[in-house]
Structure 1
Amino acid sequence: MPIKIPSSLPAADVLMEEGVMVMSEDQAAKQDIRALRIAILNLMPKKEETETQFARLIGAHPLQIELTLLRPTEHTPKTTSQAHIGAFYQPWNDVRDQKFDGLIITGAPIEHMPFEEVTYWDEISQIFDWTQTNVHSTLGVCWGGMAMINHFHGVKKHVLDAKAFGCFPQRNLAPSSPYLRGFSDTCVVPVSRWTEMRQDEIDAVPGLTTLLGSDEVGPCLVEDPDHRALYIFNHFEYDTGTLKGEYDRDVAKGVPINVPMKYYPDDDPSKPPQNRWRSHAHLLYANWISEIYLTTPFDIDQIGESRKDRRT
């Protein structure tokens, strides 16, 4: 089954060119099934790029997905046209009475700021609490994951002396986890951040389990079953050229930046980078959606009524 998104969303053309099945509202209405409702709270400045990256991963699953794009009500993005925002995004206040099977909270370029100094932190905190009653499973990515684990557990983020930047091997620490079904013993994941979460501080919190981690850049994927959440501190969703774009941008601006590690062949930026994470990215998101499908109530209004697994 395909992903259901507005046909005029720029991501639709990109996904169709890549062979991802995209369905219109009229086509979806003819199918006698309940689509999984998945929302993306998109905090990234390049919203169209981010929409495409996540829609590509969740749209590859055989289940029908109804995608909703959200933004904080109290924050007006300045890097995306207001026409695009107005056409495709809903402020969170407009959907807070609705229920969703899944929610993805993206990263945001505000890593150096203390959480409480973020202008929309109060609303983000409300959204985190709202997930416990209105969302069956939440995926916090990079800053989104760091903010969420801090909100629920007080785990702090720490500023790095140098940016963690490149493609780093991650060890499979929980091979029996349904979220890592089909994963190799190691996988490569793009990393691009100035902050980190520390493994010993995560280990000190009862109930949290690190599923993927690296000796070089720390924990990557953490499961929080009590809050029906996964926290991903790295970027499975990145395109092949995303790290290159970040590197070229900083070089052009004269910002000190290292060549992303283990990304270019022979660490030579003149050579085209190679994507070594695509298959595991699809596996992770497919496994996440499968777990949602197996455990979410058929009656979407029952989401949040019980924390117990509804697998049948």
Structure 2
Amino acid sequence: MPIIIPENLPAADILAQENIFVMNEYRALHQDIRPLKIAILNLMPIKTVTETQLLRMLSNFPIQIEIDLLTTETYQSKHTPAEHLKTFYKTFSDIKHLKYDGMIITGAPVEKMRFGDVAYWKELKEIMDYTVENVTSTFHICWAAQAALYHHYGIHNYLLPEKMFGVFKHRINNPRCELMRGLDDEVFIPHSRHTEVHRGEIEKVPELEILLESDEAGVALVISRDGRQVFAMGHSEYDAYTLKEEYERDLRKGEKINIPRHYFIDDDPSKEVIVNWRSHGSLIFTNWLNYYVYQLTPYDLYADSK
């Protein structure tokens, strides 16, 4: 089944060229199926790129998915055209009276800042509190995962001596967890971050379980035992050349940046990249949608409030 997206969203053409089935809202209204309602709070600077990456990850699910794209009110993106935001995005004020089957909160390039110094931190805390009662399951990515672990459980993040940058091999700690179903023994995930969370602090919280970790990249995937919160430190949604583009961008800016590890053939940036994470990422998102959203969400999201 397709993913339902707004008319004329630029991601639609890209996904169609990749033979991914998308459906516009008009066609969806003529099918007698209750789609899953998923909100995506997009905190990334170039929102069109992140939209496409996440829609691609959600597109293989057999149930219709209806997407609401969200942006912050307290901070205006400088890298996405205002007209795009006005046309395709809503704010928390627009949707806070609604309920969702699932929500994705993306990463953001603010890792080196203290949480309280982030311009939209107060707004983000309000949204994270809202998800506890109004969203069946929330998937946090990279900085958002660290922010949510801090907000909900008081777990701190720590600055790394150098950027965790590359594609890393991870082991599964609990293969019986539904989020891990169908994954290989070795799971590859891209990382691009300046901070980390510590295993010891997470282990002190009985409501949390570490599902994936790496000898090089550390803790990579954490879940609350009720399945309502998922915290992903990496970027399973990344395209083949996202790390390459980040690497070349930082070089142009004159920043100190290492070659992304385990990414280029022979770790040589003049050679092609090795894409070994795409199927793992797709399966993680599909498992999340199936076992923690679709299987658990009520048919009537508003039944408790009637």
Give yes or no for TM over 0.5: yes
| Matched residue SS, 2:248 | helix
Instruction: State the AA in 1 paired with 2:150.
Output: N
How much has 1:227 moved relative to structure 2?
Answer: 7.1
1:151 aligns with: 151
- Equivalent AA in structure 1 for residue 188 of structure 2: V
Match of 2:123 in 1: 123
SS in 2 for 1:220: strand
Output the CA distance in 2 between the equivalents of 1:304 and 1:153: 27
2:112 is the alignment partner of 1:100: no
Q: What TM-score does the superposition give when structure 2 sets the normalisation length? A: 0.97
The letter for the 2-side match of 1:192 is S
Deviation at 1:70, TM superposition (A): 0.3
Q: Give deviations 1:99-125, integer Å, cap 9, x for gaps.
A: 110000000000000001111111100
Query: What one-letter code is carried by the residue in structure 2 that aligns with 1:298?
Result: Y
Secondary structure, aligned partner of 1:196: strand
Q: Which runs of 4+ in 1 moved over 6 A?
A: none
Q: Is the 8 A contact 1:3 1:22 kept in 2?
A: yes
Q: Calculate the TM-score normalised by the size of structure 1.
A: 0.96
Q: CA deviation at 1:302?
A: 3.7
Separation in 1, partners of 2:303, 2:274 = 44
What per-residue deviation string (whole Å, max 9, x for no partner) do you get for residues 108-152 of structure 1?
000000001111111100111100111110000000110001001
RMSD, matched Cα: 1.3
| One-letter amino acid of the counterpart of residue 300, structure 1 | L
> 1:142-164: CA deviations, max 9, x gaps?
00110001001000000001111
Relative distance call for 1:303 and 1:33 in structure 2 (3 A) is farther
Question: Partner letter of residue 79 of structure 2?
Answer: T
SS at match of 2:302: helix
| Count of matched residue positions in the alignment of Structure 1 and Structure 2 | 305
Query: Match of 2:66, SS?
Result: strand
Q: Which residue of 1 aligns with 2:295?
A: 294
Q: Which residue of 2 aligns with 1:308?
A: none
Q: How far did residue 304 of structure 1 move?
A: 9.2
Equivalent residue, structure 1, for 2:187: 187
Instruction: Quote the sequence identity (%).
Output: 46
Instruction: Kindly indicate whether the alpha-carbon contact (under 8 Å) linking 1:136 and 1:303 is maintained by their aligned counterparts in 2.
Output: no
User: What's the counterpart of residue 20 of structure 1?
Assistant: 20
Give the conservation status (yes or no) of the 8 Å contact 1:132–1:304.
no
Letter of the structure 2 residue corresponding to residue 109 of structure 1 = P
C-alpha separation in 1, matches of 2:227 and 2:154: 14
Look up the match of 1:84: 84
1:1-312 to 2 correspondence within 5 Å?
1-226=1-226, 228-291=228-291, 292-302=293-303
Matched AA of 1:88: F
| CA distance in 2: counterparts of 1:250 and 1:14, whole angstroms | 26
Counterparts of 1:214 and 1:303, CA distance in 2: 41
SS at match of 1:74: coil
Superposition deviation, residue 300 in structure 1? 1.3
Distance of 2:261 and 2:37 partners within structure 1 = 37
Structure 1 stretch displaced more, 131-140 or 222-231: 222-231
Report how far residue 279 of structure 1 moved: 0.4
Shift in alpha-carbon separation, 1:303–1:92, aligned structure 2, 3 A = farther
Q: 1:44 to 1:199 in 2, by over 3 A?
A: same
Pairwise CA distance, 1:74: 1.6
Gaps of 5+ in 2: none
Q: Which runs of 5+ in 1 are unaligned?
A: 306-312
